[in-house]
Structure 1
Amino acid sequence: MPKIISNVDITIKNCAMELFSELSYTNVDMRMISKKSGVAVGTLYNYYKNKKQLYLAILKESWKNTFEKLDIINQATVSYKEKLRKFISILYEDIEGRNGLGKALLDKSILELKDDKEIDELKNSLLLRLENLFSGYEKPEHLSKCSSIDIRLAECLLVSTLTMLELHPNDKENNINFLVEFISLSVKNNVKGDKV
């Protein structure tokens, strides 16, 4: 009698995410996911035609949740510093929760994922939310002459978050405080007289 697994798709995604986080995308194959999830390889292929499709489904689902939280913060009517702190905290905690899974947005070394349209869309969606956070705030004069300053600030924050997680994994609060101050130095609040 075949083993019955409830919530097969959720089981597949959870097991695959653990493997991708632990071993990296490159070192995982569909047989490993099958073994860990207890789902037959043939059944696994009924849900996802290949490893890349499964990986992208996990990545998109996890970032969708992050984007919803970031959108709520972007729409909040709070001081810039408070909005920045909440935004960075959510971004940091969600990236941390993915255990490195989100590095694919910046990692061009995985040939199978390099220049993938879906990964580019995720990256652009994240950068757009970051740009929205930074837009409307006066930049210091020496930076305001730079083209695409908001996108560069967004990229700096994303890379800095990944760096803090990697180099200082057990210092979450100090990492978040550093990132808030780092970005605060780059922008001046120009809304409702708030001071950064």
Structure 2
Amino acid sequence: MKEDWLEELIAAADTDKRNEKQIKILQAAVDMFSEKGYASTSTNEIAKKAGVAEGTIFRYYKTKKELLMAIVLPALTKFAAPFFIQSFAKQVFEDSYDSYEQFLRTVIRNRFEFARKNMPILKILIQEVPFHPELKQEVQNVFEKELYSRFVGIIQQFQKQGDVIEIPAATIIRLSVSSLAGFLLTRFLLLPEASWDDEAEIEYTIQFILHGLTPRGDI
């Protein structure tokens, strides 16, 4: 039985679902790139894991780099971007919120579930984006075109209501996103086997973003 993320990847990459060899190559490449990293993985290793000849890989992908792009670019342009626009927008931006805390709580829970379900692909993106300019540009495009202005609008709304301090919206986004990313990376990538109380950690992250480390009574 294929994992959910692989089904999404196959659909995003326009791969013929009947072509089992190509599907096995994609699955093996995701597993190997996620486990060892792109640079440390050879096409021979991918072929062995997929149970195909190495030449079969090059029948579908001219180079290892093309295979990487076949995995991550669809994930960004056809999978991640539509997810942000459709699911994320419906679940987050189309609702009304009484406070920035309520908005933040919705965002964090949404991204937590997304990371939990799609970590193999996200792990490859985290590992490879810094080393491939085209991937970095695509990530920036998705964020800037689909998310940034919406976040700014929400923050400015709560600043007018006096619910958020008057500092640049870009700074608030950076501080909020970096705290959330730090939590998700530690939870799912760095220390996934640790004993986690997810509900408590989500709450700690929210309270840290809202109040920092200063005891509430001393503010």
Which 4+ stretches in 1 moved above 4 angstroms?
80-83
Report the equivalent of 2:28: 15
Count of residues in Structure 1 that have an aligned counterpart in Structure 2: 173
Indicate which of 107, 124, 128 corresponds to 1:101.
Answer: 124
Structure 2: gaps spanning 5 or more residues:
1-17, 213-219
1:107-186 map, 5 Å: 108=130, 113-114=131-132, 116-126=133-143, 129=147, 132-137=150-155, 138=159, 139-141=164-166, 144=167, 146=168, 148-153=170-175, 155-156=177-178, 157-166=180-189, 168-169=191-192, 170-171=195-196, 172-185=198-211
Report whether the alignment pairs 1:90 with 2:110. Answer: yes
Structure 1 residue 11, shift from structure 2 partner = 2.1
Report the equivalent of 2:79: 65
The letter of the residue matching 2:107 is F
The letter of the residue matching 1:163 is T
1:73–1:14 Cα change, 3 Å: same
What per-residue deviation string (whole Å, max 9, x for no partner) do you get for residues 98-148 of structure 1?
A: 242231366x3xxxx34x22332124414652562353322412xx1x473
Report the equivalent of 1:191: none
Is residue 30–residue 71 contact of structure 2 (8 Å, CA) maintained in 1?
A: yes
Report whether the alignment pairs 1:40 with 2:40. Answer: no
**Counterpart of 1:161 in 2: which secondary structure?**
helix
Structure 1: gaps spanning 5 or more residues:
187-196
Structure 1 residue 59, shift from structure 2 partner = 2.1
**Counterpart of 2:154 in 1: which secondary structure?**
coil
**Counterpart of 1:31 in 2: which secondary structure?**
helix
Report the equivalent of 1:51: 64
* Structure 2: distance between partners of 1:71 and 1:9: 33
1:148–1:86 Cα change, 3 Å: closer
Is residue 59–residue 102 contact of structure 1 (8 Å, CA) maintained in 2?
A: yes
* Structure 2: distance between partners of 1:147 and 1:76: 20
* Structure 2: distance between partners of 1:150 and 1:101: 27
**Which has the larger displacement, 85-94 or 122-131?**
122-131
Is residue 47–residue 57 contact of structure 2 (8 Å, CA) maintained in 1?
A: yes
TM-score by length of 1: 0.68
